[in-house]
Amino acid sequence: MQILDGIKVIELGQLIAGPFAGKTLADFGARVIKVEPPGAGDPLRKWRKLKDGTSVWWDAQSRNKESVAIDLRQPEGQALVRELLSDADVLIENFRPGTLERWGLGWDALHALNPRLVMLRLSGFGQTGPRAREPGFAAVGEAFGGLRHLNGEPGRPPVRAGVSLGDTVAGLHGAMGVLLALYQRDARGGQGQMIDLALYEAMFNLTESLLPEYDAFGDVREPAGGALPGIAPSNAYPCADGRFVLIAGNGDSIFRRLMTAIGRADLADDARLTHNDGRAARALELDAAIGDWTVQRSLEKVLAAMDRAEVPASRIYTIADLAADPHFAARGSIERIPALAGGTIAVPGIVPRLSATPGAVRQRAPRLGEHSDAVLRELGHDEASIAALRVKGSVA
């Protein structure tokens, strides 16, 4: 048994943010019924690299889900979604604000239909405020939320992480919001509620001391490349073989061990460097000392020395590196699951790890509309009714 067994989730979202929240809930036992538009389905099916016509990303993000193809633009499709929601526990959607209201599927209408329903609404700027109706993808959320400005080298254009952080971080916040709302409903005797989550707010929530430092000191943090501003030493350093090593020597006792390991007892014993505030003031000097040492040694020799000194360090992994690393295998951090195209595909394992009720992959990602007939029959539709809906194009 999984912890979310018995929880029924209807997923109306597309691409990443909403579906990532749905994936997270599905991994821990929720039944997630994904509603996709007939014809093309969720655009993610065609994003990035395809195998037999479908993205392998789809295998990872849509595992454990069922697919029902319903045209939400048609009144019959909207009526079917209301039927699905009449006894559902959770609705996930990431349309632009106002879209569901035009279809008669806004919060007020759905709460009246099913007072126990928890509704997760993800959008670029939230359901309220002067920018609420504007479109917003992950990149916009990262920029508007303050994170993108920090990424990159000083004096150069900001860069992005190579993944859609704005979406996936919002999806994780959304899943957390759903669990909180279900706890309030089921453990505290409450009703369903609406969760209004903006992509930029999820990113803004990651900015640590950025705002309090601005408020207290007027300080605007600027990009710092591989360093962590105000916390030292922590950076990527060059090695003799052209590779880089990440060394995090910013703990007080760790710093002393690091300086001793690189032959800089003078810095290890400098009372002005005992604590982080003193080290931060001399971050460039410390980075130069560490870099002068690493650049004379291969990455393997640097890592071996850091291991002996018990200083946190790592090579900077590519996906090929981590796929071959024994620690990933030992922890189950990579899992092979059934692929829609046949055979299996490697995907990130399920986290977090629960000792008594762990997550699990129960089924592969669905074909478009694979579960349409079965789900409609559950709602009480007979074969003639389903055939008529299919002729009209309301379902597929």
Say whether 167 is catalytic.
Answer: yes
How far apart are alpha carbons 279 and 39 in whole angstroms? 59
Q: How far is CA 107 from the centre of its chain?
A: 25
- Residue 158 C-beta-side C-alpha neighbours within 13 Å: 15
How far apart are alpha carbons 263 and 260 in whole angstroms? 5
Give the Cβ contact number of residue 389 at 10 Å: 22
Beta strand ranges found along 40-141 (DSSP E): 50-51, 54-55, 65-69, 90-93, 118-123
How far apart are alpha carbons 69 and 52 in whole angstroms? 20
Give the Cβ contact number of residue 266 at 10 Å: 10
How far apart are alpha carbons 350 and 292 in whole angstroms? 40
Q: How far is CA 365 from the centre of its chain?
A: 18
How far apart are alpha carbons 256 and 278 in whole angstroms? 13
The amino acid at residue 359 is: G
Cβ-in-10-Å burial (0-12, 13-18, 19+) of 34 comes to: buried
How far apart are alpha carbons 76 and 99 in whole angstroms? 17
3-class secondary-structure state, position 132: coil
How far apart are alpha carbons 120 and 169 in whole angstroms? 14
How far apart are alpha carbons 67 and 74 in whole angstroms? 18
Q: Which of 167, 215, 266, 307 is catalytic?
A: 167
**CA-based max dimension of the chain:** 85
How far apart are alpha carbons 104 and 101 in whole angstroms? 5
How far apart are alpha carbons 138 and 170 in whole angstroms? 9
Q: Is residue 29 within 8 Å of 40, Cβ to Cβ?
A: no
Q: Which two tokens mark 201? A: 């707010």
- Hey, which residues are catalytic here? 167
